[in-house]
Amino acid sequence: MARPFLKWAGGKRGLAPKVVAMLPESYRRYVEPFLGAGAVFFAAQEQRRSLQSVLSDLNAELIGAFEVVRDHPGPLVEQLKALAEGYLSGDREERKAFYYEVRAQEPGSDVERTARTIFLNRTGYNGLYRVNSKGRFNVPHGRYVRPTICDEAGLRAASTALRGAVLLHADFGAVCRGAGAGDFVYLDPPYQPLSATSHFTAYTSNGFRQDDQVRLRDEFESLTRRGVAAVLSNSDHAAIRDLYEGRGYLLENVPMGRSINSVASKRTPIPELLVSNLGRPEVIRALAMVAPF
């Protein structure tokens, strides 16, 4: 089974089986406007190998990495093997220096850039991906003893899974508006913070604000009216419930563990919210028109 090739704060490996279990028996295309590490996509593709998909994210470097994994797995593996050899052959201080040297580089090709992204993701502090206001990766060196920098089998499996995927660097609104009746859309936006200290929206240099959450709700409403099946995940916060309650959607609380936290004791279950429009009549009618797999 293909799995995410990047660690990702807010990744959905734990939630993926739940979302995939909600997939309709038949649907035209799988659409994911907030791709992240792609855990739900890879799980859906395992269930339906001929899956037609549209995958997008506002993080250009992330989408570029998915394109390289899909189109150039061989050269990427060779680049990563070289980085792994250079890093793992050093002692702790040499590894640290090697890390910051790679972090400061401006790669000359797409393959080199993706190798750099995966290397930093695997050897940076706590597996974070974070950029500053100028879009520069700014995660410090990590503490891993023997990180897996080049997972050749995993990368080749991911490449195979992505062969039929259309990859876009686009705003979620444009991607949602491209979905049609009978499609399935999974929406996994940056979550509403549960506390004043729980913000983490630095996957791009632009944050995800409350007005973006409202705009996303409006797109969800538009999807429903057009007969597009949709499931959305977010934190189970009163502000999010207020956006979706009373509109004929199914809201379900799902306890999930934090995938990345610098303190192990804080990796405790947190309440997540799944919002589904699969029970709305417009969606039921549209899905009934889709030919069985």
Would you list the DSSP string of 138-190?
-PPB---SS-----HHHHHHHHHHTTTEEEEE--HHHHHHT--TT-EEEE-PP
The total number of structural domains that make up the chain: 2
Question: Do 247 and 102 fall into the same domain?
Answer: no
> What is the enclosing helix (H) or strand (E) of 253?
strand 250-257
Average pLDDT (188-214) is 71
pLDDT of 204 over the 70 cut: no
**Considering only CA atoms, which of 30, 28, 27, 32 is closest in space to residue 12?**
32
HSE of 32 in the Cβ direction (CA atoms, 13 Å)? 27
Residue 140 and residue 126: Cα distance in Å, rounded?
9
Indicate the average pLDDT of the chain. Answer: 91
Q: Which DSSP category does 202 fall into?
A: T
Instruction: Give 56-65 pLDDT, tens digit per residue.
Output: 999 999 999 9
User: Measured between alpha carbons, how far is 63 from 113 in angstroms, rounded to an integer?
Assistant: 12
Quote the DSSP letter at residue 88: H
Q: What is the average pLDDT across 199-228? A: 82
Residues 120 and 217 in one domain: no
Q: How far apart are CA 88 and CA 85, in angstroms?
A: 5
Q: Are 194 and 281 members of one domain?
A: yes
**pTM, entire model:** 0.90
- Residue 194: which pLDDT band, with cuts at 50, 70 and 90? confident
Model confidence band, residue 77 (pLDDT cutoffs 50, 70, 90): very high
| CATH number for the domain that contains residue 194 | 3.40.50.150
Asked, for residue 7, whether it belongs to a domain, the answer is no
Asked if residue 41 and residue 74 are part of one domain, the reply reads: no
Average pLDDT over residues 140-169: 96
Quick one: 189 and 278 in the same domain?
yes
Residue 160 lies in a domain: no
Degrees (nearest 5) of the Cα angle 53, 57, 59?
145
Domain boundary among 106, 121, 155: 155
Let me know: does 162 contact 66? Beta carbons within 8 Å: yes
Q: Are 24 and 84 in a shared domain?
A: no
Strand order in the sheet with 165-169: 165-169, 53-57, 30-32, 184-187, 229-235, 269-276, 250-257
Query: Does 142 map to a domain?
Result: yes
The pLDDT of 50-69, averaged and rounded, is 95
User: Could you tell me if residue 161 is inside a domain?
Assistant: no
Instruction: Report yes or no: 36 and 42 within 8 Å, Cβ to Cβ.
Output: no
Nearest to 150, CA basis, from 97, 67, 73: 73
Query: Could you tell me if residue 101 is inside a domain?
Result: yes
* Same domain membership, residue 187 and residue 226: yes
Other Cβ atoms closer than 10 A to 194: 12
Whether residues 92 and 136 fall in one domain = yes
Q: Residues 130-142: what's their mean pLDDT?
A: 85
Task: Identify whether 118 is part of a domain.
Answer: yes
**Residue 60 region, left (φ>0) first, then alpha (ψ -120 to 50), else beta?**
alpha
DSSP at 79:
H
- Final residue belonging to a domain, choices 129, 155, 181: 155
45: containing domain: 16-58+170-288
Does residue 2 lie within any of the structural domains?
no
Same-domain pairing of 97 and 121:
yes
Based on the domain organization, do 243 and 145 belong to the same domain? no
CATH number assigned to the domain comprising residue 109 = 1.10.1020.10
The whole-number pLDDT of residue 256 equals 74
Instruction: List own/partner pairs for 43-46 with CB under 8 A and 24 or more apart.
Output: 43/1, 43/16, 43/17, 43/19, 44/19, 44/20, 45/2, 45/161, 46/1, 46/2, 46/161
Same-domain pairing of 47 and 80: no
Residues 49 and 90 placed together within one structural domain of the fold: no
End position of a domain, from candidates 127, 155, 183: 155
Residue 253 placed within a domain:
yes
